[in-house]
Chain A
């Protein structure tokens, strides 16, 4: 339990902070930021927990998974931003309409 605990707890905190922000703020850019923060939290937990055993060689699989996750996150963010810009251009607002008519 060396570098394990602070970063694991940070990861948990980031996930929950991000989730709270995602559910609370209506502005879409903030929601995108929130999802990214949540992702960072998950990645932190994944790698930090791998340091439970005091081996000199770190476990490479979690690290590879996190790199994959980072790339997937940037792809999704780019698409989300593009959709957001499109929505803002046609509706003038950067928030989702709450009512579903009919």
Chain B
């Protein structure tokens, strides 16, 4: 077919960055048409993600030298299977959140929401397509700034407080990362990650640089004990924003760390990997306990994010391809499931005006779709078959048995039990009657359906695992870490 090769050559990667920017500028300029412009932009961006995905399955990885200058002088856009999956997941979650937000906010908030949201989307897409260290710094800063501004959208005291704590934490993380990049540049003379992978040697400069980069990114991805900023920020932000923060924004820093690790760390030995694994376990434990103790729904979901991020770091000491597949699968299914949970919480909030777990008044009867969404998302978070979460944990357990480090299965299994406990707690209260009846506001149907669709997608991710995993390996992103 003549059309197919032409579609493949279109610059999809560029579109993924340019489309949301143009949308953001348009939404700022034409305030009154912000909602339709925003929805259109997100849809077009999602189509570009699909186009890029199609291209990488047919051809190999995607390269684009911006300005015509290749690395190391210029900046190159690059997408392999890992980038494409992140981009597609971002596109799906972004679409759902956008349609939800279109009904959730009032008109004044819409005008403020769309430009920032589209700018955030641009930043994340630019980050997933980047391989230049300083370019990633600027993209991380743009992501952080837009995310902070969105956190503060409602202007409530809690939101402002959470936002400023988030801003300071993210700035500290970025500066630590930047200092690490400074030493990498002066040690090796390049800012391109792929070139760096070939040049790197083990010496104090490298240790310092990688230590700084890891510390900065660990802070930005809320790894225990540097997670302190996440619960207040994610719990006090408005639900569509919380969904974006937990599902997508925290993962951006993890993505950068993963890229560093896969290109450079393998020459560094096992000690940092074990440290990451231990901190991951601590995160699973701490996040789980705090989630059980939480009395508000959004805070519970935020602590659940802290817990799930801990799982991602357990893949580091395992180090084989299976482990990376497991971690990535967890990342993807968590993105879908966590967004679904926050949107469901948003429905509960919209309906009753509060999110106190103990006072969920017959929500199961009034908002069946919402409770179903929360329950299905919970299935993935718990790791029950056939969800994406189950596939992820299965792969991780398999990896720990294969490498002989069977002790890592303990936090994985224990974490699932704790997750089951807090999911059932919420669902249980959803069937009860509150002490004092509350006024109910009708929840728009589109809001209920977007939450459910995301939750179903998290389950479906488990069913399409074989195809997704082959896709993940396009361009061999994990070759660096596996050849040990």
Report which A residues bind B (CB closer than 8 A): 15, 19, 22, 28, 31-32, 35, 38-39, 42, 45-46, 49-50, 52, 61-62, 65, 68-69, 72, 75-76, 79-80, 83-84, 86-87, 90-91, 96-97, 100, 102
Given contacts A38-B175, A62-B185, 9 further A-B contacts (CB under 8 A): A31-B168, A65-B134, A75-B145, A80-B164, A80-B167, A90-B157, A91-B157, A96-B164, A102-B293
Judged by a CB distance under 8 angstroms, whether B213 is at the interface is no
- The answer to whether A35 touches B168 (Cβ under 8 A) is yes
B434 at the interface (CB under 8 A from A): no
Whether A42 contacts B167 by the Cβ 8 Å rule is no
In the assembled complex, the Cα of A80 lies from the Cα of B191 at a distance in Å of 29
A79 to B144: give the CA distance in the assembly, Å: 11
A100 to chain B, nearest CB (A): 6
Complex Cα gap A97–B162 (Å):
10
Contacts of B296 in A (CB 8 A): 102
Query: Known contacts A79-B149, A87-B157; is A102 also within 8 Å of B182 by CB?
Result: no
Which residues 115-170 of B sit at the A interface, judged by CB distance below 8 A?
A: 134, 138, 141, 145, 148-149, 152, 155-157, 160-161, 163-165, 167-168
Give the number of chain B interface residues (Cβ < 8 Å): 33
CB distance from B419 to the nearest CB of A (A): 19
* Known contacts A86-B152, A102-B295, A102-B296: A80-B168 contact under CB 8 Å: yes
Q: Report the Cα distance A15→B176, complex, angstroms.
A: 10
B152, A102: Cβ atoms under 8 Å? no
Do residues B167 and A86 form an inter-chain contact, with CB atoms below 8 A?
no
A24 to B440, CA, bound (A): 46
**B182 and A84 contacting across the interface, CB-CB below 8 Å:** no
Please state if B231 and A45 are interface contacts (CB–CB under 8 Å): no
Q: What's the nearest-Cβ distance from chain B to residue A79, in Å?
A: 6
* Cβ B175 vs Cβ A86 within 8 A: no
A10: shortest Cβ distance to chain B, in Å?
Answer: 14
User: Given the interface contacts A62-B185, A75-B145, A102-B299, does A42 sit within 8 Å of B179 by beta carbon?
Assistant: yes
Q: Is the pair B171, A35 in contact by a Cβ cutoff of 8 Å?
A: yes
Taking the complex as formed, is B484 at the interface, i.e. its CB lies under 8 A from any CB of chain A?
A: no
CA–CA, A75 to B181, complex, Å?
Answer: 21
Q: Is B294 an interface residue (CB 8 A)?
A: yes
Is B178 among interface residues, defined by CB-CB distance under 8 A?
yes
- 29 of the cross-chain contacts (CB-CB < 8 Å) are A15-B175, A32-B168, A35-B168, A35-B175, A38-B175, A42-B175, A46-B186, A49-B182, A49-B186, A72-B138, A72-B141, A75-B145, A76-B141, A76-B145, A80-B167, A80-B171, A83-B152, A83-B164, A83-B167, A84-B164, A86-B160, A87-B160, A87-B161, A90-B156, A90-B157, A96-B164, A100-B232, A102-B293, A102-B295
Please give me the residue from chain A that is nearest to B357 by CB atom: A102
With a CB–CB cut-off of 8 A, which chain B residues contact A69?
178
CB distance B179 to A15 under 8 Å? yes
For B299, what are the chain A residues with a Cβ–Cβ distance below 8 Å? Answer: 102
Cross-chain contact of B155 among A38, A86, A96 (Cβ < 8 A):
A86
Q: How far is the CB of A40 from chain B (nearest CB, A)?
A: 10
Chain A residues lying within 8 Å of B141, measured Cβ to Cβ, are 72, 76
User: Which listed residue (A22, A45, A52) contacts B172, Cβ 8 A?
Assistant: A22
A45/B164 contact (C-beta < 8 A), A76-B141, A76-B171, A102-B296 known: no
